[in-house]
Amino acid sequence: MTPPSQPSQPSTGLDAPGDPSLGPPPGCPAHALGPDGLRRLYGPEADADLPAVYEKLRAEHGPVAPALIHDDVRMWAVLGHGENLHMVRSTAHFNRDARNWTALKNGTVKPTHPLAPVFGWQPICSMAEGPEHLRLRGAVTQALEIIDHRSLRRVINKACQEIINRFSERGECDIVSEFAEHLPMKVMLDILGAPEAYSERFVQAARDMIKGTETAIASNEYIMGVLMELTARRRATPEDDFTSRLIAAPAALTDDEVGQHLRLVLIAAYEATANLIANVLRTVLTDPRFRAQLNGGQMTVPEAVEQSLWDEPPFSAMVGYFAKVDTELGGQHIRAGDGLIFGIAPGNVDPAVRPDPTEHMMGNRSHLAFGGGPHECPGQDIGRAIADIGVDAFLMRLPDAELSVDESQLTWRSTILSQHLVALPVSFTPRAQQDIITKPSMVPPPRPDWQVSSAAPSPVPAPAPAATATPDVPAQAEPVGAPAGTDGVRAPGAWQRFLRWWRGY
C-alpha cells in the first residue's frame, strides 16, 4: 500500500516497490512499467495501443485505476461509464481546479509539464464552479445562442467547397491534413471573427498544443497571442461575431477571460471535429457495410457521426478532475487533492453499458464524447454541424473516393487526450473546381428550356380584357403543369426544398 507519508498517491497494492530483489526478472514486460509498478498512459506501450492499456487497467483494478501521466505523475484513471458520470456530476466531491491538486502544490508537477496548457488553471468556465461558473458559462452560452444555425450551415458549406477545390483537380488528397484538420479551423475562426488568422501555421500550432510535446507551450503562446490581439480589436470595434458578443455579455468578462474562452471554444471544437471527420470518413472508406448503409439510406450522415462518437470519441480523455474531499469512487479510496482522468474512450466501451462493443448504438446519445454535468460541452451542436456537413459535402463532391493504401498501413498518433489518425490518403476521379457561391447538390439545376411531353389543351376563349390591358400585346399561356409565376421552370419538390433548407440554402 502507499506509505502514509504520501497521502496524495494512489494505492498500488505493491508490498515493497523499492526492493529490487522483489522486482520482475530481466526481460519481463513489467520493466516497461513506471514507479510502484503503475502503468504509463504515455510512452511506447501507450503510443502503440492506448485502448489496450486501459483494458489492462480495467482488468487489474476495476472501473477506477491508478496510472501515470507524463513525468510519471500519478493520477486515477476513471474507466467506468457510470463512475465517469458520477465524477463529473458530483460537484461537492470533484472539480476541475488544478490548484487543489496535491501534486501541483508540492512541486511534483512542474510548470513546464507537457500537459500544463491543458490542466493548468485558467479563468474559464470549465475550471470554475459555483457563482463564478454560472457567470462565465452564461456568457459563453449567450454568445453561442445568438449564432444562426442556417447561416452557420452556409459558412460550413462554403468552407467545404473552398478546401475541396484545392485538391479536386489532382484526383488525390490526404483527408486528414488537407481536409479534416482545415475545415473546423476555418469555420471556427470565421465564427470567432478572425478569418484572416486561418493559416497552415495556425492549424499546426493548434494540433501541437494538445499533443503534450516539447513545443506545446510555445504553440499555446502563439495561439493566445492571436486571440488576445483579436480581443483587443473587438473591444475597440465590435462586429457581428462570437468574440464581440462574448465581450458584450452582461457578465462583463475581462480581456484575459475573453481570450481564454476563445481558446477554449476554438481548440475544443477544432480538435474534436477534426478527429470526428477523419474517423467517419475512414469508416466509410474501409467498411463496405457502413458505406452501403449510408448509400442505401439505412443510416444518415448524422447517425454515422453519432456512432463514431461512441466508437472513436475525438477526445479519448480529459486531464483532469481533482478531489475536493476524501471520497470513494469505483471501489477506490480517493483522497482530497488526488487528480483524476475523465476517461471518455474507456467509459464508452465499459462492458456495463456495452457488453458487445461492435453493436451499433443507433439513436443512443449517452456517450461521454461531450462530457457531462455542469461542464458538458456547450458548443457540441456546432461540432456536430461541421462534421455532418463536412462528411456529406466530401462524399457528394468525390463520391468515388477510395483509400489509396492498404487499410493495414494506416497509423494513429496516440496521446492521453486523443487518438489522431496520422493520414488518410485517397484517390478519386479528378473534378473541376466548383463555384463556391452555389450550393453543392445532388439536385439537378432547373432547365430553362423545360417543355411538357404532351400537347397543350386548346385555349378556352377568354373574356374581354380589362380596360387597363394593352390590346396589341397577345396573352401568353403558361406551360401545362408549371406553377404560376415560374416562367415554365418546374418548381422544386418537397424533398428538394428540404435538402436546400438543410444545407443552408
Spatial distance between the Cα atoms of 153 and 278, rounded to a whole number of angstroms = 19
The residue assigned the cell 419538390 is: 493
* Cα-Cα-Cα-Cα dihedral sign, residues 299, 302, 307, 311: positive
Looking at residue 300, its pLDDT comes to 87
**Closest residue by Cα to residue 65 from 414, 419, 329:** 329
Long-range contacts of 236-245 (CB under 8 A, 24+ apart): 239/193, 241/191, 241/192, 241/193, 242/143, 242/144, 242/147, 242/191, 242/192, 242/193, 243/192, 243/193, 243/194, 244/193, 245/142, 245/143, 245/146
DSSP 8-class letter at 23? S
Question: DSSP assignment of 198-258, as one string?
Answer: -SHHHHHHHHHHTTT-TTHHHHHHHHHHHHHHHHHHHHHS--SSHHHHHHHSTT---HHHH
Q: What is the pLDDT of residue 412?
A: 87
φ and ψ at 421, to 5 degrees? -65, 125
Distance (Å, rounded) from C-alpha 111 to C-alpha 121? 11
Reported as a single tens digit per residue, the pLDDT across 33-51 is: 889 899 999 999 988 889 9
Q: Quick one: average pLDDT of 465-492?
A: 44
Residue type, 132: E
Burial of 483 (0-12, 13-18, 19+ CB in 10 A): exposed
Task: Give residue 486's pLDDT.
Answer: 42
> What does pLDDT average to over the chain?
83
Q: What is the mean pLDDT of residues 211-220?
A: 80
> pTM of whole model > 0.85?
no
Band of residue 291 on the pLDDT scale cut at 50, 70, 90: confident
Q: Which residues contact 453 (CB under 8 A, 6 or more apart)?
A: none
Cell triple for residue 290?
457502413
For every residue of 260-289, DSSP letters joined together read HHHHHHHHHHHHHHHHHHHHHHHHHHH-HH
What are 390-399's pLDDT values in tens digits? 999 999 999 9
The three grid cell numbers given for residue 259, joined into one nine-digit string: 481570450
CB 77 within 8 A of CB 54: yes
Given a cut of 90, whether residue 447 has pLDDT beyond it is no
Residue 319 is inside which H or E element, if any?
A: strand 317-323
Segment 375-389, tens digit of pLDDT: 998 889 899 999 999
Cα separation, 41 vs 341, whole angstroms: 11
Which segment of 140-149, 219-228, 475-484 scores lowest on mean pLDDT?
475-484
> What residues contact 362, with CB distance under 8 A and at least 6 apart?
299, 303, 307
pLDDT of residue 132: 94
| Cα 256–chain centre separation | 25
The sign of the CA dihedral 141, 143, 144, 149 is positive
pLDDT band at 290 (very low <50, low <70, confident <90, very high): confident
User: Cβ of 362: how many Cβ atoms within 10 Å?
Assistant: 10
51-85 pLDDT per residue, tens: 999 999 999 999 999 999 999 999 999 999 999 99
- Give the angle 126-323-85 at the CA atoms, nearest 5°: 65
